[in-house]
Amino acid sequence: MPKPEIHPTWYPDAKVICNGEVVMTVGSTQPEISVDVWSGNHPFYTGTQKIIDTEGRVDRFLRKYGMLDASSEEAEADTNTDTESKSEAEN
């Protein structure tokens, strides 16, 4: 038995609340725990995670290892040409 008056109150059925609804109950020293993200709505666990391509790193990787198909290469070349002509026009 714990010593009296030195331990916090233990709530064996504390509610975990996300977006206004109870998502689970756990043991905690607080009766309610409010969270923004939990495994039920996190993109990694739900399978809706998207790859954020910063600076074309994914395309560069795919090009380097020959995994990029021809149609993607042509579209990328058109985009690069348009970008180059715009930057030349600005100068």
pLDDT at residue 33 in the model: 94
Helix axes 57-64, 70-90, angle to 10 degrees: 130
CA dist., res. 43 & res. 57, Å (int) = 21
- Do 3 and 45 fall within a single domain? yes
Mean model confidence pLDDT for the chain: 77
Of 17-26, 32-41, 75-84, the one with minimum mean pLDDT is 75-84
Q: What is the pTM of this model?
A: 0.47
* Tally of domains within the chain: 2
Yes or no: say if 19 and 40 are a contact pair by the CB < 8 Å rule. Answer: no
**Residue 91 located in a structural domain:** no
- Do 39 and 58 fall within a single domain? no
- Do 45 and 55 fall within a single domain? no
Whether residue 36 has pLDDT greater than 80: yes
**Residue 21 located in a structural domain:** yes
Residue 13 sits in a domain whose CATH number is 4.10.80.400
pLDDT at residue 14 in the model: 96
Whether residue 13 has pLDDT greater than 60: yes
Q: Percentage of the chain with pLDDT > 90?
A: 25
